[in-house]
């Protein structure tokens, strides 16, 4: 029996036909907003990992059955966690994703200035 699956021979643009242009826009937006949980540095649109292909197929079916963007994102984050979102919501468990880079930069500046002050206080 033939399975109703789409072939992963493209990046998700031409092999996912939609009768409604708004559905195509929603699909394209969602697969660009989500990170591949296998590749981690690629969005679902660019990734050819088997998990990304399966997830694109699932998102395609959800868009075709008129699920909203928030319903699709909720489904994906419930299954894979907030990490798959390129812009995760600000919660206590995602705070480091938002503030970690700034915190590291401030700590680096503090340590650098302390090192410079210590070095300039010594006489040759």
Instruction: Break the chain down into helix, strand, coil percent, rounded to 5.
Output: 60, 5, 40
pLDDT of residue 81: 84
Domain residue spans of the chain: 1-88, 90-124
Could you tell me the maximum CA-CA distance found in the chain, to the nearest angstrom? 84
8-17, 30-39, 69-78 — most confident range: 69-78
How far apart (Å, rounded) are the C-alpha atoms in residues 89 and 45?
21
CATH of domain 1-88: 1.10.8.640
Report d(CA 75, CA 68) in Å as an integer: 11
Q: What pLDDT, on a 0 to 100 scale, did the predictor assign at position 110?
A: 92
The predicted structure's pLDDT at residue 5: 40
| Interval 89-110: pLDDT, tens | 666 666 777 788 888 999 999 9
The residue to which tokens 């699956």 are assigned: 5
Whether the pLDDT of residue 25 is over 60: the answer is yes
pLDDT score recorded for residue 117: 82
């Amino acid at each position: 029996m033939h399975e109703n699956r789409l072939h992963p021979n493209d990046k998700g643009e031409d092999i996912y036909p939609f009768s409604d242009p708004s559905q195509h826009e929603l699909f394209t937006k969602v697969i660009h907003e989500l990170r591949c949980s296998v590749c981690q540095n690629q969005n679902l649109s660019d990734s050819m990992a088997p998990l990304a292909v399966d997830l694109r197929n699932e998102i395609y079916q959800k868009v075709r059955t008129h699920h909203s963007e928030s319903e699709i994102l909720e489904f994906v984050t419930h299954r894979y966690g907030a990490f798959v979102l390129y812009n995760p919501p600000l919660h206590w468990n995602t705070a480091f994703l938002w503030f970690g880079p700034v915190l590291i930069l401030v700590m680096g500046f503090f340590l650098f200035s302390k090192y410079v002050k210590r070095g300039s206080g010594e006489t040759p």
